[in-house]
Structure 1
Amino acid sequence: MTTRKISRPRNMLDLLSESAGLPDNEQTENMWLEVIHRVDEVYSDLIKYESDLEAKNAELEETQQFISSVLASVSDILLVCDERGRIIQVNAAFLRMTGLSEEMLVGAPLGDHLAEDSRARALAMIAAGVEGKVTECELRFHTDQGASDLMAVNCSTRFDHSGRRVGAVLTGRPIGELKRAYEALHHAHLDLQKAQRKLIEQEKMASLGRLVAGVAHELNNPISFVYGNIHTLDKYRRSLAGYFVERRRDAEDDDLRRKFKVDAILADLPSLIEGMLEGAVRISDIVKNLRRLSFSRTTETQEVELERIARTAANWAARSKRVQADVVFECEPGLTIEAHEGQIHQVLVNLIDNAFDATRDVAAPRIRIGINKAGDEAEISVTDNGRGLSDVLLDKVFEPFFTTKVVGEGTGLGLWISYSIVKEHGGSIVAANGCNGGAVFTVRLPMNGAQTA
């Protein structure tokens, strides 16, 4: 029986060995070394790639955490939509406003979370976006307590790397906050304007006061001459009248008297002299008022009972007026201040006198005089039911020589003098219109005595 030798199958390594003309064992060993070397290189590259990938992932996570923390810290609402208006991302401020979770919002149409009157505007704003342009709109969102306050929303369109529009980013805040900020800014601006006008008025009045006080001083001497000469002229008139009475016995003299109208002249002289004297007295009073503009004190202060002096001033003002107004006193009893009584009396006479003039054409004229304590100050108000003051008059009413009265009834110095007196006492005086019409003049004077402003 012949025994047959079974050979092993020939594989690729055998074929490579035969073709290379090398022994089987040597060829196989070289091939495995090459494979192992290649495997080591691939494994080394994999380790390097894995390390780089971990570093990139760490950077990405850190960036994602930074962006999330920034979005969570933003007080304005922020939401991102795709081109169809579906919500992709929202920030914590939007979640707080709506009272919903992020899972309930992401993927939902934006219109479902907008008030009915805001949906069309929002969708049109997202659809009409232009790269680089921010669109503004006012929207209301649904919240767990109903519709939100009106929000000022800015919309910026999102584009991908190829320039295709892929959605929009909306940011907004309640208009109430903006309104409060604008109102605060507006009030601050008005206060600044008011302070500026007051400063300009005070400087203008101080300059005019110095100028007019100097002019008044220069006018005082010639007025004194005129005033004194009028009395002398009246004395001479009486002497001449006596002389001509004695000369009436001469017939020739009677002809001369008729020719030169001596009797008519003598009869007219008393009224002329009286008118000149009245004019001189008025000019003297005006000069005294002008001299007051130097803000110099001429008398000591004393305790002044405001109700008593107000009633006296009202009686004085009513004497020379044809209007019989109903004067009502609403005074806190026993209220006193340290002041110059005559000057405070003059201020009240001026204010009440103007109130009588303001009610001249009113069917039922009424003047209210109120006196009460306001903190550390005494407040005196004179209110009439006349036509009130226009905005132009409110700005000019305390200017020197400004008057609405006809020529001969006022000099335009009454309120200016009153302003200077009140300022000299460390107080304030303002003019306004009452709630029910008419003008209101309010004087505030310190309770702790007169002070120079």
Structure 2
Amino acid sequence: MANYSDPRPSSAYDFAGGYDPDMAAAQETAWIEVIRKMEEVYSDLISYEVELEEKNTALEEAQRFINSVLSAVSDILIVCDQSGRIQQVNLAFIQLTGFAEVDLYERPLDELLAEGTGNLRLFSWIDSVEGRDREVRFRSSEGGLTEPVALSCATRLDHRGLPAGIVLTGRPVGELRRAYEALKTAQAQLIQQEKMASLGRLIAGVAHELNNPISFVYGNVHALSKYSARISAYLDAIHGGCDEAEREALRASLRIDATLADLPGLMEGTAEGAQRVADIVRSLKRLSFSAGGKPEVFDLGEIVAKAVQWSASGKKGLATIELDLPDSLNVRGNPGQLHQVIVNLIENAQDAVSSRADGCIRVAAKAEAGGVTLVIEDNGPGIPPDIATKVFDPFFTTKPVGKGTGLGLWISYGIIRDHGGTLDAGTSPMGGARFVISLPAAGS
């Protein structure tokens, strides 16, 4: 008799040896659930592995990016742990010292410092009230010393925000000094350019002012030359022995009587024109741009009137300028410098209203308790709120390239400050810009 093997699990049989179909179905369901769970776990493991590989790739790319940035930075960079041992350096430091990066890793930073530098006491350096920049020299791989380096120090924090070491950054002092000297030279050139621009505006106004009296003197001298020729011809005839009839005829034809009557007026007018030229030259000497000399007491109203007159002459017809000045407005300071400030503000106002047919500028001054206030305002487009805080910054300008250096208001602000006053910018009731100069009175 052949052996019969029942394919159903033996555990599906009860203790009596009979087959239990319900138990077999439950066991089959359990096995299916176990297999499904194993597949889920395996699928999760695969997903986690793919995600981990992607994160590792991203970390490697980030590390390469950071290393490339650190290598491109021209400043030297040194990262140390809490004991002052080097953990990382950039290419700039390697090029400075000549050491290989592998020779620097875990090496105490103090070993690289030149003799006489002493222990930097790096962590106390961070909290020093004397400032963080230190000038140091490093040892080179060839046994010599590097050029001086200006180092700054900062704390490096770990992922918990706790101190994990220090970060040192620096640049060779020679490079810093060269950059500083280049900056000073450029700044001096720009300031000189602004002064020359102010001088050009002044010359334009003065040239117009000088033109009138000089033209008057030139015309009078031309008339005197013709009169001189008439009188010479008349005297030559008399001295030549002409008779009375000839003399009277010549006197009438040469208009000798009219000439003699006109001479006093011509000479007086010529003297007046020459005096006007002398007054303008004297004003120019007084309005020197030099900051030297002691402060003097002068009438600010007179300086304002001259500045307005010369500015209007230089840009004639651009705008109507309304003046409201008291009879006397004494202040103490340098009249030439204040003239420069006022001319600059009026020139700016003229530029602001140049596109308007009804351009108007108002200049008003008054004496207040212990001080003097001068207001220059226009009906131009005004100062936008987003640049109101920048108008006195050096090199800031809204004018096209080549039309302004961005130093006029900055220099003006410094001049008023040096005179113990203030220069403020705002919006005028006329709708344009409003600049207010406040200065202490002469007796303050």
User: What TM bracket, shorter-length normalisation?
Assistant: 0.3 to 0.5
TM-score (norm 2): 0.40
TM-score (norm 1): 0.40
Larger RCO, structure (CA 8 Å, separation 6 or more): 2
